[in-house]
Amino acid sequence: MNYLRVGDLGQDGFLNALDLSIRAKRDPAHFGSALAGYEVGLFYMKPSTRTRVSTEVAVSQLGGRPMTLRNEEVGLGKREAPADVARTLDRYLDVLALRVFEHEHLDIIGAHAKAPVINLLSDLEHPCQALADVQTMSESRSLPGSVLTFIGDGNNVCHSLMMAAAMLGVEVRVAAPEGYEPLPEYVEAASQYSSVLVTADVNAAVEGSDFVYTDVWASMGQEDEAAERRRLFEAYRVDEKLFERANDGAIFLHCLPAHRGEEVTDGVADHPRSRIFDQAENRMHSFKGILLYLTQ
């Protein structure tokens, strides 16, 4: 089984992976040799801090061996076809995890490798982030019936988060400028599990929210659009005034890296109810959860 999209696991599988993530955090020693003998390939076509470090540490702490590869060496789709890269790496490695531009490359690799393939971020999803996000959310309150508002660009982080939160019974709202809404297929898929609202009205969306989440306005690879996006997303900055519209006790979330002063102010990122570094920590525990789920 692969974890390329949050929906790949189904609701039961996703709950199972979340449970393993929570147990791995609570009792890391219990899983200290769960991946003994496993070689885990971690491949990057884009920069990374959290994913790079949390995944390597997670594999090591499970008793496996991480091997990080950069695209400068592999040349995915240029030096070698993705299907051939997959069939080659599959002969050496027991798990493949990749950060790519085109999600289609992951689909091809997933189809040509027998080893489980994990998405470490693509243009379509960031499913490992979403597992850490719901783990973090579950640490603050019971999730069914709670309200999460994602503000900003409805792309990879938003897609995975919508699915993950909806599968846990969270009401999902997305406030995005026109033209930057999540793809209809994600709205439809998440709506099968919970109520989902997509709106351009950011103030109304935040009212009554228990969780307020944002991401950068220009993702990796979209640097050329940064100036235009700054103009279009200006009204979607999460500042203290907007955050105050959320419920008392509401939690602020961000996958990081943050562009402070753009999508979020320092006052919110460093707010006593910001959980952004818990999210970063949980990337490690939840990567263990997903590895345990896919290999045991």
Identify the residue among 97, 137, 212, 216 touching ligand NVA (CB under 6 A). 216
Nearest residue relative to ligand CP (C-beta): 51
Edge to edge, the sheet with strand 211-214 lists: 196-199, 171-175, 147-151, 211-214, 251-254
**Interface region with ligand NVA, contact rule CB under 6 A, candidates 5-13, 15-23, 204-212, 213-221:** 213-221
> Given candidates 215, 246, 265, 285, which one binds ligand NVA under the rule CB under 6 A?
215
Q: Is 129 a catalytic residue?
A: yes
By CB under 6 A, which span of 52-60, 63-71, 215-223, 263-271 interacts with ligand NVA?
215-223
Question: Residue 145 and residue 16: Cα distance in Å, rounded?
Answer: 20
Residue closer to ligand CP, measured from CB, 2 or 129: 129
- The reply on whether position 48 binds ligand CP by CB under 6 A is yes
Distance CA 165, CA 161 (A): 6
- Among 62, 97, 187, 255, the residue binding ligand NVA under the rule CB under 6 A is 255
Taking CB under 6 A as the rule, which mask of x and - marks residues 121-160 in contact with ligand NVA?
A: x---------------------------------xxx---
Integer Cα distance of 136 and 253 in angstroms: 9
Taking CB under 6 A as the criterion, which residues in 89-128 touch ligand CP?
121
Contact status: 60 vs ligand CP (CB under 6 A): no
- What are the DSSP calls for the chain, one per residue? --BSSGGGGHHHHHHHHHHHHHHHHH-GGGGTTTTTT-EEEEEESS--SHHHHHHHHHHHHTT-EEEEEEHHHH-BTTTB-HHHHHHHHTTT-SEEEEE-S-HHHHHHHHHH-SS-EEES--SS--HHHHHHHHHHHHTTS--TT-EEEEES--SHHHHHHHHHHHHTT-EEEEE--TT-PPPHHHHHHHHTTS-EEEES-HHHHHTT-SEEEE--SS-TT-GGGHHHHHHHTGGG-B-HHHHHTSPTT-EEEE-S---BTTTB-HHHHTSTTB-HHHHHHHHHHHHHHHHHHHH-
Rounded to a whole number of angstroms, the minimum distance from the CB of residue 157 to ligand NVA is 5
Q: Does 220 bind ligand NVA (CB under 6 A)?
A: yes
Other Cβ atoms within 10 Å of 214 Cβ, number: 28
The smaller minimum CB distance to ligand CP, of residues 136 and 194, is found at 136
Query: Smallest gap, in angstroms, from Cβ of residue 215 to ligand CP?
Result: 9
49 binds, among ligand NVA, ligand CP, none (CB under 5 to 8 A by kind): ligand CP
70 part of the active site: no
Query: Binder to ligand CP among 59, 255, 269, 290 (CB under 6 A)?
Result: 255
5 is catalytic: no
For residue 215, indicate whether it is catalytic.
yes
- Which is nearer to ligand NVA, 76 or 157 (by Cβ)? 157
State the nearest-atom distance from the C-beta of 291 to ligand CP, in Å: 16
Residues that bind ligand CP (CB under 6 A): 48-51, 121, 129, 255-257
Q: Among all residues, which ones are annotated catalytic? A: 99, 126, 129, 215, 255, 283
